[in-house]
Amino acid sequence: MSTTPSVLTILMPGFEEIEAIAPVDLLRRAGARVILASLGPEPSVTGRCNITVLAETTLAIATQQPYDLIFIPGGPGVKHLRSDPRVAALVKAQVAAGRPVAAICAAPLVLHDAGLLAGRRYTAFPSTADELPHILHDQRVVEDGPILTSRGAGTALDLGYAMIARLLGPAKAAEIRRQICA
């Protein structure tokens, strides 16, 4: 565990704002260095509820260095992630290097496309069940090796705490939970 873990968060048009911002907020409160990267060439990215976020960089630039964790929020914009081969290659390389990837809502489809869910336990948004038939519907967050998955906007805080625990330990996750009266 490094002293200041780094997290790459990929934002695409149509990302689910709660699923992206709530975990990023928690990670930053915990002391992680979180980099927001836009999938496209422009730094501003508009989510599904028309909230525009200014990313610090683009995916093309961000992938020039390793991260302790890659986080992929869900939402209807997951289709953009699935159609961009850089994303599947990035998460495959991350896992191959023994570093974790977290995905929420429909974003586990990206992990599925990259071949990372085969033989693993996972959860995802119920509407993805046609492609992800082994969703653990009763689990808010599922961790299986380097893969962390979560169901949707209602479980965004849970995923944030799980990422903090993975990167900075359970005590830090409990501290942040107390700080926000969760």
- Give me the residues paired with residue 123 across strands: none
On whether the CB atoms of residues 36 and 9 are closer than 8 A, the answer is yes
On whether the CB atoms of residues 44 and 13 are closer than 8 A, the answer is no
pTM for the predicted model, two decimal places: 0.97
Per-residue model confidence as pLDDT tens digits over 82-133:
999 999 999 999 999 999 999 999 999 999 999 999 999 999 999 999 999 9
Task: Assign 150 to helix, strand or coil.
Answer: strand
Longest Cα–Cα distance in the chain: 41
- Residue spans of the domains in the chain: they are 6-177
What does each C-alpha distance from 24 to 3, 97, 141 come to in angstroms? 18, 23, 16
List active site positions: 105
Q: Which CATH class is domain 6-177?
A: alpha beta
